[in-house]
């Protein structure tokens, strides 16, 4: 029944990957502007037509 120990370690690793994702997001500035993304997601209707970058 040591399988629970393996499962716990696995669970921590998976949770740890989310922690890493959080670090990444913070470093990337995801939490610097919390308003415009909420608007942006609603507005993006036809921008793809002339995507230039």
Partner 1 sequence: MNSSISEIDAKVVCYHCGNDCKEEDILEDDKHFCCSGCYTVYDILKDNNLCGYYDLNANAGVSLKAKNFKGKFDYLSEKAIENELLSYQDEQIAKVILSVPSIHCSSCVWLLENFPKILKGVFTSRLNFVKKELSLDFDPNVVSLKEIVELMATLGYEPQINLESTGKLKKIDHETRKLLFKIGVTGFCAGNIMMMSFPEYFNLDLANKLDATYQKFFLYFNFLLALPVFFYGASDYLKGAYYSILENLKGNSNILSVDIPIALGITALFLRSTYETFVPQTAGYWDSMAGLVLFLLVGKWVQTVTFNYLSFDRSYKSYFPLAVKVKNQSANYKNVNELQKGDVFFVHHQELIPTDAILMEGNALIDYSFVTGESNPVKKLKGETVFAGGRQVADQIELLVQKPVSTSYLTQLWNNESFLKEKEIPTTALANAFSKYFTYLTIAIAAAVGIYWKFNNPELIWPAVTAVLMVACPCALTLSLPFTMNTTMSIFGRNKFFVKNQGVIQQLSEIDTMVFDKTGTLTEANHGEVRLVGELSYYEKNLVYGVVSQSVHPLSKLVSSYLQGSNSLEVNYIFEVKGQGIEAIVDGRSVKIGKLDFVKNINAESQNSEVHVMIDNEYKGYFTVEPRFRANWKTLLQKLSKTFTIALLSGDNPRMSETLKPIFGSRMRFNQSPQDKLDYIKQLQNSGSHVMMIGDGLNDAGALRESKIGIALTEDVQAFSPSCDAILDAERIDKLDDYVRFSKTALNIVKLSFLLSVVYNIMGVGWAASGELSPVVAAIFMPLSTLSVVFFSVGLTWLVARYKKMV
Interface residue list for partner 1 (CB under 8 A): 1-2, 4-5, 8, 12, 15-16, 18-19, 22-23, 26-27, 29, 31-36, 39-40, 42-43, 45, 47, 50, 52-53
Cβ of residue 35: shortest distance to partner 1, in angstroms? Answer: 4
Cβ of residue 34: shortest distance to partner 1, in angstroms? Answer: 7
Helix (H) or strand (E) holding 12: helix 3-27
Q: Which residues contact 31 (CB under 8 A, 6 or more apart)?
A: 25
Q: Which residues contact 25 (CB under 8 A, 6 or more apart)?
A: 31
């Amino acid at each position: 029944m040591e399988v629970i120990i393996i499962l716990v370690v696995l669970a921590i690793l998976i949770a740890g990957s989310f922690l890493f994702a959080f670090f990444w997001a913070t470093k990337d500035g995801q939490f610097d502007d919390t308003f415009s993304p909420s608007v942006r997601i609603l507005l993006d209707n036809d921008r793809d037509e002339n995507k230039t970058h």
